[in-house]
Chain A
Amino acid sequence: MAKVPVQFTLNGSEKAEFVDSGTTLLNALRDKVGDTSPKGGCHQGTCGACSVIIDGELRLSCLTLAETCDGAVISTTSGLSENGVLHPLQRAFLDTFATQCGFCTPGMIMAAKVLLDHTPNPSRDEVVEALSGNICRCTGYEPIIQAVLTAARANSQNAA
């Protein structure tokens, strides 16, 4: 079968790949581009571990075909830190011990980032809503909710 050419921007860099038709964005990112920060948990859109940001919206990369991302701007957790300085969400997840095995963490952080991009000072309920598509097996969620609220506070202090 003929390969399909796809070009997109990933974390600020141009990427061009030939993928098999039907390849998911998750597999294209992990196996072709080499960005393994999105995780493959269920491969059917129920766990959220593969969450990435496409053109500003939170999307499940396991349910998104790579060939539909031509020209898209994609962000993943691996592109969040700048010059070795962690993103406030990454910092907050570390500082509040919001990660154990870490498998859900990249998806959680992307879901939280979209929330904070649109709602810089979310309520607890808004955080819960934003994370409700992501499954975590280790933490019992409370530390993750606290991490997102902590990052929001850090952002608003920096802005002030």
Chain B
Amino acid sequence: MAALPKRIIKETERLAREPVPGINAVPHEDNLRYFDVSIHGPQGSPYEGGIFKLELFLPDDYPMTPPKIRFLTKIYYPNIDKLGRICLDVLKSNWSPALQIRTILLSIQALLGAPNPDDPLAPDVAKRWKEDQEGAIATAKEWTRTHAMT
């Protein structure tokens, strides 16, 4: 494997030195491009109190291409599908090489506080979110309790 670019080393160092509140990202010892991430559910959202695990992988041409991120913890959310894939523009077409791991993780944390059922990745969840928002939020809380609080 090619040597790790200076930028990845710097980002990793900074994540360890000045961690973002409520976000934790640690690279694997044997693969420094692969991170174990945990995000605390934002306050005031149905995910409050839960700790959600994600995996993050920096492809070879990072930062020219976006990092690959996936939820590992089950979550009831209209823009995250069963496999944990996230519908977030900056992870796809709107990626910019000036974005960093920490900014992306902050975006994801903010996304949890602002579900967008009009651009769904999980159509059944989005449908329920639109038709029965209270019930959907109750389910989201229930899932948070069972899957993200252990």
Q: Decide whether A and B are members of one complex.
A: no
